[in-house]
Amino acid sequence: MPARRLFFGVIVASFAVAAGAVAAAPTRVSVYAAASLTDVMRAIDAEAKAQGKPACICVHAATSVLARQIERGAPADIFISANPQWMAYVVHKLKLRQGPRLFAGNRLVLIAPASQPLDFDFGSGRSLAKVLDGGWLALADPDHVPAGIYAMKGLQHLGQWEALAGRVARAQNVRAALALVTRKEARAGVVYESDAISEKRVNMVDFFPEGSHPEVQYMAAALNDTPSPQVADYLDFLTSPPVAAMLSAHGLRPPGN
């Protein structure tokens, strides 16, 4: 029947157009990066495009979530984790032989809403739980998110963790923890310095003392032992001086500092 032929013709034509569109699309580099790198990756992407490099498909979530997705075959070219352990997990599961590179560092900071300042510092030895006075402390989930793991280790080292049990609000990632403090749902929170300076509605109360938790290290790696020239080039770009300058501007610590 002519109507049926026309219908099938339209279906086939639309597939052809779609296939053509996909084939003609410029290649982009797929970067799976920790949630805390959302702002700086946007700046890096703009700089990359200015230098004629491919744009990135930047996927941000908790490092743990991304690692599990990559393990199950997510199409990522580059992975940037917020701690070495999750990178080691991915390297092990994907059987990579290339070692990861240090991408950046960061600092852990206690924050409170700007309109409800908190009078506390870690050096005084006072109990944070008492100062919170029943309020909630927002963290990224310490069970699996690096920001939460660092925070828990820091608080345990400072002897504050036990008293805080039951008043810890576990967020899906460090940005969600930041949002809880911004919205004043939580009385205080522990996030990275880079997150704290990106949000005007929260103030930094005090940094975690040096040595109270393992050093925050972001690791970057290509997820293929033989990456395409574009991906290898992008990875080199990520560890180049112009990017290091952008890291500083966003509150992160460039590698080698």
Partner 1 sequence: MTPLETEALLLSLRVAGWSVLLNLPLGLAAAWALARLRFPGKFLFDGIVHLPLIVPPVVIGYLLLVGLGRNGWIGSWLHDVFGLTLTFSWRGAAVASAVMSFPLMVRAIRLSIEAVDRRLEQAARTLGASPPWVFATVTLPLIVPGLITGTILAFARSLGEFGATITFVSNIPGETRTLPLALYTLVQAPDGEAAAARIVVISVALALGALILSEFLARKSRTGEESE
Tell me the two tokens of residue 116. 């409800």
Q: How far is the CB of 186 from partner 1 (least distance, A)?
A: 8
**DSSP H/E element including 87:** helix 84-94
The residue among 40 and 67 lying less far from partner 1, judged by its C-beta, is 67
Q: How far is the CB of 104 from partner 1 (least distance, A)?
A: 23
Report if residue 153 touches partner 1, rule: CB under 8 A.
Answer: no
Report whether 107 contacts 60 (CB < 8 A): no
**Residue of 55, 54, 89, 95 whose CA lies nearest to 69:** 89
Number of residues lying near partner 1 (CB under 8 A): 21
Per-residue binding string, partner 1, 64-103, x by CB under 8 A, is: xx-xx--------------------x--------------
**Residue of 179, 249, 223 whose CA lies nearest to 29:** 223
Residue of the chain from 33, 78, 111, 180 that contacts partner 1 (CB under 8 A)? 180
Sheet holding 56-61: strands in order across? 56-61, 29-34, 78-81, 216-222, 101-106
Report if residue 172 touches partner 1, rule: CB under 8 A.
Answer: yes
**Residue of 232, 239, 231 whose CA lies nearest to 104:** 239
Q: Collapsing DSSP states into helix, strand and coil, what is residue 234?
A: helix
83: left (phi over 0), alpha (psi -120 to 50) or beta: beta
Report if residue 35 touches partner 1, rule: CB under 8 A.
Answer: no
The residue among 30 and 182 lying less far from partner 1, judged by its C-beta, is 182
Q: How far is the CB of 149 from partner 1 (least distance, A)?
A: 11
Residue of the chain from 70, 78, 168, 190 that contacts partner 1 (CB under 8 A)? 168
Report if residue 144 touches partner 1, rule: CB under 8 A.
Answer: yes
Question: Within positions 38 to 57, which residues make up the interface with partner 1, using CB under 8 A?
Answer: none
Report if residue 143 touches partner 1, rule: CB under 8 A.
Answer: yes
In one letter, which amino acid is 13? Answer: A
Q: Which residues bind partner 1 (CB under 8 A)?
A: 62, 64-65, 67-68, 89, 136, 141, 143-145, 166, 168-172, 180, 183-185
